Amino acid sequence: MPSTRSGGCLCGKVRYEASDAPVLSIQCYCRDCQHISGGGHAPQFAVKRDTVSRSGPLKTFHLKSDAGNDLEFGFCGECGSPIYKTTTLAPELVFFFAGSLDDPATFTLETKVYEDRRQPWDES
């Protein structure tokens, strides 16, 4: 599997690349991830922040999590696609949403989190 991960948004203006392999891959069922994905959960992988380059019209949105840490969500200012999330719980990491990958098949799910928030209609 190639260690570099690249991706972007629906309209193609936002691009990112991570030069190292993911350190973590999760599928999160929390309410924030339901909102940000527009679905039942958000598959995402974390890479070290210092391996990441980003370009394009990224916009950010900030939120305090239930646990009290600060979250930043990055999305395309043109088409609105969710791209990444950061948290002050792990400031050295950037979590990219798996659906933004150029090749989403390279995503391998390791752990499901907040499964107690899973919606009854979400079967994956």
Q: What is the closest distance, in whole angstroms, from the C-beta atom of residue 55 to Zn ion in the complex? A: 12
Q: Contact between 78 and Zn ion (CB under 5 A)?
A: yes
Q: Where are the alpha helices (DSSP H) in 1-124?
A: 31-37
| Vertex 28 angle, CA 24 and 29, to 5° | 170
Q: Contact between 33 and Zn ion (CB under 5 A)?
A: yes
What span, in angstroms and rounded, lies between the C-alpha atoms of 3 and 21?
4
Q: Contact between 36 and Zn ion (CB under 5 A)?
A: no
Q: Contact between 21 and Zn ion (CB under 5 A)?
A: no
Is the distance from CB of 34 to CB of 119 less than 8 angstroms? yes
Q: Contact between 47 and Zn ion (CB under 5 A)?
A: no
Query: Quick one: which of 28, 46, 83, 94 contacts Zn ion (CB under 5 A)?
Result: 28
What span, in angstroms and rounded, lies between the C-alpha atoms of 27 and 36?
13
Binding site for Zn ion (CB under 5 A): 9, 11, 13, 28, 30, 32-33, 76, 78-79
